[in-house]
Each structure stands twice: as C-alpha cells, then as structure tokens.
A = this chain, B = another copy of it.
Amino acid sequence: MTHDDEGGISLEQRGAVLLIGLDRPRKLNGFTPTMLRELAAAYSELERREDIRVGVLHAAGPHTTAGLDLPKIAPLMERGEALMPPGEIDPFDFARQRSKPIVAAVKGICYTIGIELMLAADIVVAAEDCRFAQLEVKRNLMPTGGATIRITERAGYGNAMYLMLTGMEIGAADALRMGLVQEVVKAGEELARAVALAQLISAQAPAAVRATRRNALLALEQGPRAAVAEFESVQQRLLAMEDGREAVASFVEKRPPRFTGR
C-alpha cells in the first residue's frame, strides 16, 4: 500500500500559523482512515504548540475533497466507530476542545465532509470555482459531521434543507449569500488569502481571540444569557493581563503591538 493509496495530511508552519493540508490529490482528497487519523493529530498539534496561534485548513490539487472514501470508511461506520480517533482534538469540534481559530481555504469540489470541516473551522475563504454539495441523502445516510447543525445555523433552515434534502450543488456566490463562506476570491488565491487572514488574527491579542470565539460559541450553544453571564469575569481576567498594557503602550508609541498571550 503506497502513501498515495491512503493519502495523508501535510503540515507547514508559517510564523504563528500552521497550515494543515488534505493530501491525496489523485483521489480528489477522498478521506481514508489514515487521513482522518492524521487530521485529528494535526488539530492536536495546533492546539498543543505554543508557537502557533491560528490554523489554516487547505487541500492539495484543484479540489478540496470529494468526501469520504466510502469503500475504505464504511466498515468503520458499520461498526459504529467514531470517524475521528479518541484522545485527539476532534476536527468536527463537537465538544469544543479546540481553543485556537482555524481559517479554511476551499476550492473546486467541496463535498460532504469538506463542507462540515470548513464550518467546524471559524472562517472560510472560497475560490470562485467552488462546488458545494451535501450528498448523504443519495446514500441513505445523514450528515453527522455537523452539517445539520451548522448549515442551519449560518444559512437558515430553508437554505439548509435546500442543500441537504436535494443533494444539489451550489456555487461560491450562493454560499457567500447564505453566510457559509466569508470571502470569495479568484481560484488559486484562496490559500494565500486564508493565510493572510490567519496571520492577521495571529497578530491580535491571543487571549482575547480565544475568549471572543468561546463566548460566541457559548451564545450559540447555551443561549444569550449564558454568554452575558461570563462577560464580567472574562473581561476582568483580560484586563489584568500584560497584553492589555502592551496594547496601550504600542498605541502610545505608534508601533504594532507584540502580544505574548500573557
């Protein structure tokens, strides 16, 4: 079995940004058990590495992914095994273990798990050649990587049913209108733009980035009151940090801040 049969996940560091690449381009990055395992390991590395602040999820070749490689994945599903290995950070982020933001760059075919991973990231940059489809209804399956929750949350119930009950493709402009992606760029520019956004985020105060992300997720999952309830304690914690003084000092000294997360 060659590497190309099972594919893998590439890793590349650029400053405080970790690029995480789906790497099985000759098979349209169809997900194998190996790729799922390596993806979870990559997300764990993103979480663990102190020199990394933001991840970028991207793909080798002209397409994001055609979805799960079902002949390789189905036995796992039939045994009721989790697609992602336990003990690592879950890339679908159901348990909210991840504290660092991820920007996804998508392009070409971006089916099923491709959509679900991009929505489990935080921000999505889409190439204008994107083709999004949630194909599970064609296979007597339900999307269980978060599409039922996150397409509904971002695009609204009507658009969610439009995508998930028909299995039809939509393009980048429709995905932008629906709130599924945040920017549409020329094909070929999506990775550079995603990295630029990730670098921009990595230049902000990291504790504030994490707190803001977590509070928005809290509002989504437990309602506005739960989010309001932690405002004061979070803000007091942030105000007591060195990075607050650095923000003031850099402003006074007219220079970019150098945040440390302390």
Q: Which residues of A contact B (CB under 8 A)?
A: 70, 77-78, 80, 94, 101, 119, 122-124, 136-144, 148-162, 164-168, 176-183, 197, 200-201, 204-205, 207-209, 211-213, 215-217, 219-225, 227-228, 231-232, 234-236, 238-239, 241, 243-244, 246-248, 257, 259
Main secondary structure of the interface of A (DSSP, over half): helix
Task: State how many angstroms separate the Cβ of A76 from the closest Cβ of chain B.
Answer: 11
Report the minimum CB–CB distance from A41 to chain B (whole Å): 22
Contact A167 B220 (CB under 8 A): no
Q: Which residues of B contact A137 (CB under 8 A)?
A: 201, 204-205, 208-209, 212
Question: Which of B119, B150, B209, B227 is A165 in contact with, Cβ under 8 Å?
Answer: B209
Which residue of the partner chain B has the closest CB to A179?
A: B156
Report how far A138 CA is from B161 CA in the complex, Å. Answer: 32
Check A158/B154 contact, CB under 8 A, given A167-B204, A204-B167, A221-B225: yes
CB of A27, distance to nearest CB on chain B (Å)? 16
With a cutoff of 8 Å between Cβ atoms, the chain B residues found around residue A141 in the complex are 205, 208, 235, 238-239, 244
- Give the distance in Å from the alpha carbon of A180 to the alpha carbon of B238 in the complex: 27
Given contacts A142-B211, A208-B136, contact A216 B177 (CB under 8 A): no
